[in-house]
Amino acid sequence: MSVNQQAHTGPPYGQPQPGYQGYQQPAYRGQPLPGVPQSQYGAYNGPMPGYQQPAPPQGYFPSLGFPSKGSPVSLNSDTSSLPPNSIGSLRPPPASGAPPPASGASVPSGHVAYSQLGHGDVQNGIPTSTAPVQRPPASQPFLPGSAHTPVSQTSTFQQYGPPPASVQQLINHVAGMTVGSTTVSAPPPAGLGYGPPTSVPPVSGSFSATGSGLYTPYTASQGPPPSSVSEGLPLAQPPFPGQLISTQRLPTQVPGFAPPPSTGIGPSYPPTAGAPRPPTMTGPPLPGQTLAGPPTSQPNHVSSPPPPPSTMSGPHHGPPISGLHGPPPPTHPPQPGYQMQQNGSFGQVRGPQPNYGGAYPGVPNYGSQPGPPPPPKRLDPDSIPSPLNELPPQQKPRHRIDPDAIPSPIQVIEDDRSNRGSEPFVTGVRGQVPPLVTTNFLVKDQGNASPRYIRCTSYNIPCTSDMAKQSQVPLAAVIKPLATLPPEENLPYLVDHGESGPVRCNRCKAYMCPFMQFIEGGRRFQCCFCSCVTEVPPHYFQHLDHTGKRVDFYDRPELSLGSYEFLATVDYCKNNKFPSPPAFIFMIDVSYNAVKSGLVRLICEELKSLLDYLPREGNMEESAIRVGFVTYNKVLHFYNVKSSLAQPQMMVVSDVADMFVPLLDGFLVNVNESRTVIASLLDQIPEMFADTRETETVFAPVIQAGLEALKAAECAGKLFIFHTSLPIAEAPGKLKNRDDRKLINTDKEKTLFQPQTSFYNNLAKDCVAQGCCVDLFLFPNQYLDVATLGVVTYQTGGSIYKYAYFQLETDQDRFLNDLRRDVQKEVGFDAVMRVRTSTGIRATDFFGAFYMSNTTDVEMAGLDCDKTITVEFKHDDKLSEDSGALLQCALLYTSCAGQRRLRIHNLSLNCCTQLADLYRNCETDTLINYLAKYAYRGVLSSPVKAVRDALISQCAQILACYRKNCASPSSAGQLILPECMKLLPVYLNCVLKSDVLQPGPDVTTDDRAYIRQLVTSMDVAETNVFFYPRLLPLTKADVDSDSLPAAIRNSEERLSKGDIYLLENGLNIFVWVGVNVQQGLLQNLFGVSSFGHISNTLSTLPVLENPFSKKVRSIVDMLQMQRSRYMKLIIVKQEDKLEMLFRHFLVEDKSLSGGASYVDFLCHMHKEIRQLLS
């Protein structure tokens, strides 16, 4: 169906509802573009007696406007040389060196003259007959699937593969663990080595320090292991009373699993030397394992010529390599209990991932020799080299710790999905930890904001600042105020309290919410944030029931729901005037590169149809947004596209030093009214500049022009700037090439992230004051200083997109899909956000794309549905366990139709006096989101190495505090991780290795600045997949089901030469093809007969009519729709050049840029923690 068909169906809100089911707000059903929702609100039209005491808006500071330019502006227009009403389509752009004389066009001398625009000149009504509606034939180009436009969040969580069913999947469920920090390649016995599911409270992993010979697997759900396992095993110390321990005497280096101390299960045991080393991973595939092909064609390891200097993976077809460094210790015969495991489930241990067994059987693995077990090697954890100071590869152990014995992100994700994916998350209970972002779940709002809007690092916060400091766990919330909801969930209701505006606390100005306490029979309410008592306005009075609850509790969203909207009164508007609808201005670089690459033509063609899909309010026939057009190189060309013109008119401003808008009337127009003129303009632009020789561009004047146009029209809006090069032309904001890779790893590296001039900061400030949001599409062929060009985008809440070496054939799909989504997505303009908190904590720091002119208000010229703001909280007083802590996020914004609204999100958290409660209710994904943003801001002011060290130190303190205060007594040599944070080391390592903090040789300065900016606005789901990409074995996909194949861990050793994999991180999709993939599969997927014939320049997969091709393409399409940006598809052939790039994303391995492997980093963290504890 067409977007334009959307009828307004919003029912009035206000019928008494017996529960929460009753808010029958229309969902996005039927929307062609669920990811780009249009607002539909059922207005509440309750009785509104004349209560005339509007509370003055707090947290909003109306702009004082801008001083008019005192000096007369010069107009350089070449329109005088054109026939009237002609754009001069065959005329080349004027030479900037010779400014044409001022024409008869009206020359504004100040802002007063502009004010006529925006009042009546532009109609938003039904198009006149002279400008007939010419919608593009149907809406296909914008339908999900055809245009790959991202759809709603539902699909994000859908079809993510079945819950783990196999033993192998369970193997990855490492809940409690003891990792011997020794050179061991032998896996722990399967089926015993994992702890209770995540629903079982706190489980910790123990990291046995000095080559513990004891393996103490335990799982609560499994009960005691067969007695034969533990019999005869020498225990270094007796188990605690009541312990259920299955101990397995294993070789010294084998990581053992310790039961979680806090569950009353005993600790793991001190190291014992000289234990035997088991053979690993030999034998036939286990029952239930699926083979993608004949085992012989599926070697377990990818050999990558040349092998990276120090990866821990690589082909191991020779003798076992666990004892690679140092003389092997004596071998020991296998323990009796060990054999049982080998026959039972042991072989699966090396099958690292669900559904991944096929690659391994029959193939020698490291340490997997049949026959005598390979010699074990002990390694003193204290001698483990720091990941930052690695030993030469040849001295390094290949595997000191079995990667399967350390916490697996895949397993944690799978467990959460199976444990929490089936039931809706009901928000009625304070301090509930929501399911992970990778789990597909529905949310029922019963008084707290959905985790789609707010996620916290912990849902149980320490009562005192001393406790908080001791733990070092940052208290932060990641807030996405305009998040897109899946169709099954209700949008926030729009509540209209009439002329008096929303009911608020008299003192702190918090908005009415479910936590306000009504007293004195309902005549007053006590504020849940500041305790102040406020009179209930007469029109808002309602009686209380016997429990003290208002009888209209369920009728009012603001009393019963966590999230809702208020219609704002004129007091919440700039200059006490209701806003005009916003405008979009498209500003196209028409310099040589832009024209030659085909970009200008592409943009113009696309805009012809895209303009029919501007955001609309749900009940509106057409968008209220007006549009305008500018082209530029070193001069600017404005276009008059007034509907009464037969042809568009061009006006050139070549004096870019003092930018102004040369036309008042006809610059910002209604699309339907000016349809034919706009179409004519978009046809003519590519022709006009086809022969341009101009290579230089300006940049700041372009933004200034857009800003001035919005000022003149007295509206907010968005600039879409399509830009190709470093702006070196003489103009304000002119830049020089100051890229210098030699600065990397020096104290001056931070300058690479800083803007080279403060000019853009000041410009950004002006833009924010006007509500001028800047979206930037960059197409560089060389350095263009993203760090500087991105400043205005960043501070106005805009989005930045970068297409390096843009080529029409390979990049147009990506660019067009990004552009479509960016133009259509929901955005609030002229936004101000304030976060209020209950007494005891307060918001102290903010991360994201915004501007702040004071310490409390986050200002954004535009805030779209994808942007998040991360807020950090600090104590300013004691909290109480009884009352908990409350957050209220209030976002004041202008909707796409020009309506002023307040969106309110409330969240209640628990408070604790025991550190264990804090650690039990943390969310690592959110913690990583915060830490990444904190670190990425840190590089602006500190050396990158210092930032990395600080991150490591803070996380070590977090884990050491847990170890010291929450874990039951155990050997100091154990690494014990809190259950909720067991992935902290692996994820932290990914942040440390990211391009911003540790760039590889191929990463450009612009890439780093770009990534830095992107991450700063990412939500938790985006940072999760960005730092730990999703890796899917495509050859394991079930072509008959909708599900995705189960993900595997990001390590080269998980890849099989006989398989094809997909890796996505939110920006890129790689399809990796092993050298031994069966010919039939290659034929089906690529339409080629051999590996050698696969083209690695493909940017899309060929459309072939067979089940495998369809399945893979549907997976790619589905992933594209889940992400806020269209991902670049890159085909990587094993052993090909591009494989180096691909390996960069195998984040559990050691990286080429020196980043530690997961295993090495875990050892390093352990060392850090031990130092803190000693």
Residues that bind Zn ion (CB under 5 A): 505, 507-508, 510, 527, 529-530, 532
Q: SS3 of 776, please?
A: strand
The nearer residue to Zn ion, 525 or 572, going by C-beta atoms, is 525
* Distance from the Cα of residue 245 to its chain's centroid: 41
Are 914 and 965 in contact by the 8 Å Cβ rule? The answer is no
Tell me the two tokens of residue 855: 């310490």
Are 1069 and 782 in contact by the 8 Å Cβ rule? The answer is no
903: β partners: 565, 891
Cβ of residue 60: shortest distance to Zn ion, in angstroms? 17
The nearer residue to Zn ion, 723 or 836, going by C-beta atoms, is 836
The nearer residue to Zn ion, 558 or 714, going by C-beta atoms, is 558
Cβ of residue 1068: shortest distance to Zn ion, in angstroms? 47
The nearer residue to Zn ion, 334 or 840, going by C-beta atoms, is 840
Are 660 and 630 in contact by the 8 Å Cβ rule? The answer is no
The nearer residue to Zn ion, 527 or 1163, going by C-beta atoms, is 527
Are 584 and 466 in contact by the 8 Å Cβ rule? The answer is no
Cβ of residue 885: shortest distance to Zn ion, in angstroms? 14
CA distance 957 to 976: 13
The nearer residue to Zn ion, 532 or 852, going by C-beta atoms, is 532
Cβ of residue 536: shortest distance to Zn ion, in angstroms? 14
Distances, alpha carbon 970 to alpha carbons 207, 223, 963, in Å? 10, 22, 9
The nearer residue to Zn ion, 444 or 842, going by C-beta atoms, is 842
The nearer residue to Zn ion, 5 or 517, going by C-beta atoms, is 517
CA distance 191 to 166: 11
The nearer residue to Zn ion, 907 or 947, going by C-beta atoms, is 907
Are 1066 and 1022 in contact by the 8 Å Cβ rule? The answer is yes
Count CB atoms within 10 A of the CB of residue 1075.
15
Q: Compute φ and ψ for 813, nearest 5 degrees.
A: -60, -45
Cβ of residue 534: shortest distance to Zn ion, in angstroms? 8
Are 158 and 179 in contact by the 8 Å Cβ rule? The answer is no
CA distance 624 to 907: 34
Spatial CA neighbour of 818 closest among 358, 97, 123, 147: 147
The nearer residue to Zn ion, 514 or 780, going by C-beta atoms, is 514
The nearer residue to Zn ion, 508 or 1165, going by C-beta atoms, is 508
The nearer residue to Zn ion, 113 or 530, going by C-beta atoms, is 530
891: β partners: 833, 903
Cβ of residue 557: shortest distance to Zn ion, in angstroms? 20
Are 795 and 761 in contact by the 8 Å Cβ rule? The answer is yes
Q: Classify residue 845 as exposed, middle or buried by CB count within 10 Å of its CB (0-12, 13-18, 19+).
A: middle
CA distance 275 to 253: 8
Cβ of residue 763: shortest distance to Zn ion, in angstroms? 37
Cβ of residue 839: shortest distance to Zn ion, in angstroms? 9
The nearer residue to Zn ion, 300 or 839, going by C-beta atoms, is 839
Kind plus residue range of the DSSP H or E element containing 638: strand 636-640
The nearer residue to Zn ion, 508 or 700, going by C-beta atoms, is 508
Distances, alpha carbon 1164 to alpha carbons 176, 257, 952, in Å? 19, 19, 9
The position carrying tokens 């067991």 is 982
Cβ of residue 535: shortest distance to Zn ion, in angstroms? 13
Cβ of residue 834: shortest distance to Zn ion, in angstroms? 13
Half-sphere exposure of 971 (CA within 13 A, CB side): 26
The nearer residue to Zn ion, 502 or 985, going by C-beta atoms, is 502
Spatial CA neighbour of 132 closest among 681, 896, 678: 678
851: β partners: 859
The nearer residue to Zn ion, 532 or 657, going by C-beta atoms, is 532
Spatial CA neighbour of 54 closest among 570, 542, 435: 570
Spatial CA neighbour of 966 closest among 926, 912, 923, 925: 912
Are 41 and 903 in contact by the 8 Å Cβ rule? The answer is no
Tell me the two tokens of residue 664: 């008042």
The nearer residue to Zn ion, 497 or 1030, going by C-beta atoms, is 497
Cβ of residue 842: shortest distance to Zn ion, in angstroms? 13
CA distance 255 to 405: 6
Q: What is the DSSP annotation of 39-52? A: ---PBB--------
CA distance 1070 to 1062: 6
CA distance 750 to 60: 34
Q: What is the DSSP annotation of 171-212? A: HT---S-B---SB--PPPPTTTS----TTSS---BB--SS--
Cβ of residue 516: shortest distance to Zn ion, in angstroms? 9
Q: SS3 of 906, please?
A: strand
Cβ of residue 901: shortest distance to Zn ion, in angstroms? 22
Count CB atoms within 10 A of the CB of residue 509.
19
Cβ of residue 532: shortest distance to Zn ion, in angstroms? 5
Are 220 and 200 in contact by the 8 Å Cβ rule? The answer is yes
Report the residue count for the chain: 1174
Cβ of residue 509: shortest distance to Zn ion, in angstroms? 7
Cβ of residue 522: shortest distance to Zn ion, in angstroms? 18
Beta-sheet strands, E only, within 779-881: 800-802, 827-837, 841-847, 858-864, 869-875
DSSP state of 777: E
The nearer residue to Zn ion, 507 or 1110, going by C-beta atoms, is 507
Cβ of residue 510: shortest distance to Zn ion, in angstroms? 5
Cβ of residue 501: shortest distance to Zn ion, in angstroms? 16
